[in-house]
Structure 1
Amino acid sequence: MNQIPLTVRRAIEITGLFFLGWIIVLGKGLLAPLLMAFFISIMLLPVYRFFRNRKMPEAVAIGLSLLAMIVVLGGIVWFFSSQISVLIRDFPTIQKNVMNHLNALSVWVGSHTPFSSQEQINFVKEQSNNLLNYAGTLLGGVAGGVTGTLIFLGLLPIYIFLLLFYRNLLLRFVFLWFPRDNHEKVEEILREMQVIIKSYLFGLLIQVTYMTVLLGGLLMIIGIKHALLIGIIFAFLNLIPYVGALLGNIIGVLLTLASSAEIWPIFVVLGTIAGVQFLDNNILMPRIVGSKVKINALATIVGVVVGGEIAGIAGMFLSLPIIAVLKVVFDRTDQFKQWGVLFGDERPTRSPMEVPVLRWNTKAIRQKLERENEIEPPHEGEKEEETKK
């Protein structure tokens, strides 16, 4: 049988990607909770195995694992709501500070521009009316979004329970897709995916905790009002690569501006956030999550934007682990290695236009680039530990 020409193969790949994207967009209501449940179920595997080692029935072990997850999430929601209630109690003071800042801004604008106070008031009223009209439209969309969120949250524990209960059946389904000669490579990919997902998601959980404590604690010591609320909001938004940190800074500034009659706390908050983020990005997070898979910034930003367009906030959170899983699969398959290169951060120091060897698709070159970029594959010890479990 004649081999399919390379151009035809590439055309089939692009067409397949188009239809895959189309299916994802059409089925996002089903796929978003299912993917979230898949990642959470992998995170819950150590808890599930702990209960199973105590000779508990399988359904009971899964139920207790879900209960532990619900207790943790309930604690986070309670902490967040308690901080919001403190913010609501301070609303009269916040309203007064906002008016003071607006008056000061009006005086500054009047002294540096030809616009009078009356013209500024008319402009503010006009924009306020536009904002109210927009808010009405937005609330209509939110009402529909709340229903979707409730369905999402209702399906999530059911999917997690079923994925854990039928995990052996699903694994057998995966192996039956491939010839027996490829089963060893499939097993290697599955174990590597599990190690990466667990290290990444547990790292994010630890990151949220220490970012909240570190940022909130420092701001509290300095004397910034609503320090813990700023800390927890920034910690969760920071989980969204690049975009989340920007939103966290903006919300932190707005909360500080509304809660203080002075300007200097804003610079303190921005400086503290920058310092904590530098510590997180360069020291803490690399040690916690490790460097098993590195996704380049371009793929990360595009993935976050595409995930947000497809599934909103959930899609933005899921984008990075999905790209990491896809990269593991692409790197281990001969047909899709070029896509793994596109997602990865194994950046050559010289141009492939000048060094022809960098154009080759070989294991030795990939390993050399991984060493140069300090990217480590999952260690053999981790694989042996997963095997024992």
Structure 2
Amino acid sequence: MSDLPLTVRRSIEVMGLFFLGWIVVLGDGLLAPLLMAFFISIMVLPLYRFFCKIRFPEALSIGISILALILVLGLVVWFFSSQIRDLVRDFPVIQRNVTNHLNDLSEWVGSISPYSTEEQLDLIREQSNRLLSYVGGLLSSAALSLTSVLVFLGLLPIYIFLLLFYKNLLLRFVFLWFQPKNHKRVRDALREMELIIKSYLFGLLIQVSYMTVLLGGILLIIGIKHALLIGLIFAFLNLIPYVGALLGNIIGVLITLASSAELWPIFVVLGTIAAVQFLDNNILMPRIVGSKVKINALAAIVGVLVGGEIAGIPGMFLSLPIIAVLKVIFDRSERFKQWGVLFGDERPEHSPMHYPVLRQKDCTVDNYLKRENNVEPPREDNKP
């Protein structure tokens, strides 16, 4: 392929991306749980290696690791359901507060527009009927997708077990794709990917924990009702880059508005979320996750939207780890290094239009840009 003209090679790359995307769209029901299991298996590797180190049988080590994971997820589900029960228990108060807010809104609309209260009620009634029919359609589709969700959750532990059990076979399969002279580069790329995935996903777990405690605790001290629920919802939605924070703010405002007869708690919630998010983005998360890989905002947003279109919510959560893994692969491949540049955040200070050195695949320039943008260059690990 190296003997082909550059335009032909680029055309083949673009066609390959198209067909790869087509395969992913067609097989999203299979690939989504498999990719999720792959990333989770990387997370449980330290626990699995610990049990193997103390002479546990391999299958037992994998089983205990999966049981520990299920236990943690069960605690999260229990905590979330307990908060939802508290919210449902306050439903009469929520209904009364919503009615008061709607009456205040109706009076305000009547003061600035010619619509009377009766006309507003007719409009609300009409829109409510449309909303009910729309919600009914959503519920029916959700009921139909319940089976796929159960299949997804049922396949996860099976895939995790098999990926850990056959990890050496899979690694041998990867090495056999490359010539022996490239095996050191492949080994370094695999170690780099494992390090990045573990630091990123463990960082997300830590982020969810301290965001829930920090945001929920501050709101609880201030006296906001359902503070821990707001903190938990925002912490999980914040895992979806850019889009999740906006949804978390909206849901937090809606819960506060429905739970309070006054308006000042809304501004308290928005201000607290903004302060906690600023602390998270600029101080806590960079120190926890580190700077092994930086994805630019354009690639992150497009990746989240594409992942959501292909695999729904799981696709949105998986988009950034997948892009990070692809960037590691592309950065270590001379043929595909330009795609790593496209995904990365190593922004040159000068334009390649005027500086020819920026138009070349130069490792020295790449490492300089990484240091300039506070990104750690790839490790050169010489261990056997």
After superposition, where does 1:60-139 map in structure 2 within 5 Å? 60-139=60-139
1-structure distance, mates of 2:245, 2:165: 37
> Does 2:341 align with 1:341?
yes
> Does 2:28 align with 1:25?
no
TM-score (norm 2): 0.98
Q: Give 3-state SS (helix, strand or coil) of 1:292's partner.
A: coil
Structure 2 partner of 1:369: 369
Residue 2 to residue 186, structure 1, CA distance change in 2 (3 Å):
closer
CA RMSD of aligned residues (A): 1.2
1-structure distance, mates of 2:188, 2:60: 30
Q: Give 3-state SS (helix, strand or coil) of 2:20's partner.
A: helix
Structure 2 partner of 1:203: 203
Contact 2:367 2:377 in 1 (8 A): no
- Please state how far the C-alpha of 1:378 moved relative to its aligned partner: 5.1
> Does 2:317 align with 1:317?
yes
Deviations 1:222-281 (A, max 9, x none): 000000000000000000000000000000000000000000000000000000000000
Structure 2 partner of 1:241: 241
TM-score (norm 1): 0.97
2-structure distance, mates of 1:376, 1:336: 20
2-structure distance, mates of 1:374, 1:125: 56
Contact 1:195 1:378 in 2 (8 A): no
Structure 2 partner of 1:173: 173
Which one-letter code corresponds to 1:228 in the other structure?
Answer: L
- Please state how far the C-alpha of 1:355 moved relative to its aligned partner: 1.3
Q: Give 3-state SS (helix, strand or coil) of 1:277's partner.
A: helix
Unaligned regions of 5+ residues in structure 2, if any?
none
Q: Give 3-state SS (helix, strand or coil) of 2:334's partner.
A: coil
Structure 2 partner of 1:157: 157
1-structure distance, mates of 2:379, 2:109: 61
2-structure distance, mates of 1:152, 1:338: 35
Contact 1:211 1:231 in 2 (8 A): yes
- Please state how far the C-alpha of 1:379 moved relative to its aligned partner: 5.1
1-structure distance, mates of 2:131, 2:206: 39
2-structure distance, mates of 1:180, 1:298: 37
- Please state how far the C-alpha of 1:349 moved relative to its aligned partner: 0.7
Deviations 1:328-378 (A, max 9, x none): 000000110000000000000111112111111110010010011010135
2-structure distance, mates of 1:31, 1:90: 41
Structure 1 partner of 2:332: 332
Deviations 1:71-112 (A, max 9, x none): 000000000000000000000000000000000000000001
After superposition, where does 1:151-300 map in structure 2 within 5 Å? 151-300=151-300
> Does 2:55 align with 1:55?
yes
Structure 1 partner of 2:356: 356
Q: Give 3-state SS (helix, strand or coil) of 1:178's partner.
A: coil
- Please state how far the C-alpha of 1:2 moved relative to its aligned partner: 8.2
Q: What percentage of residue pairs aligned between the two structures are identical?
A: 74
2-structure distance, mates of 1:184, 1:2: 21
Which one-letter code corresponds to 1:3 in the other structure?
Answer: D
Residue 336 to residue 374, structure 1, CA distance change in 2 (3 Å):
same
Which one-letter code corresponds to 1:355 in the other structure?
Answer: Y
Which one-letter code corresponds to 1:71 in the other structure?
Answer: L
1-structure distance, mates of 2:336, 2:282: 31
2-structure distance, mates of 1:325, 1:379: 15
Extract structure 1 runs of 4+ deviating beyond 4 A.
none
- Please state how far the C-alpha of 1:131 moved relative to its aligned partner: 0.5
Q: Give 3-state SS (helix, strand or coil) of 2:114's partner.
A: coil
2-structure distance, mates of 1:21, 1:2: 24
Which one-letter code corresponds to 2:171 in the other structure?
Answer: L
2-structure distance, mates of 1:217, 1:378: 39
Structure 1 partner of 2:14: 14
Aligned length: 384
Range that drifts further, 276-285 or 348-357: 348-357
Q: Give 3-state SS (helix, strand or coil) of 1:158's partner.
A: helix
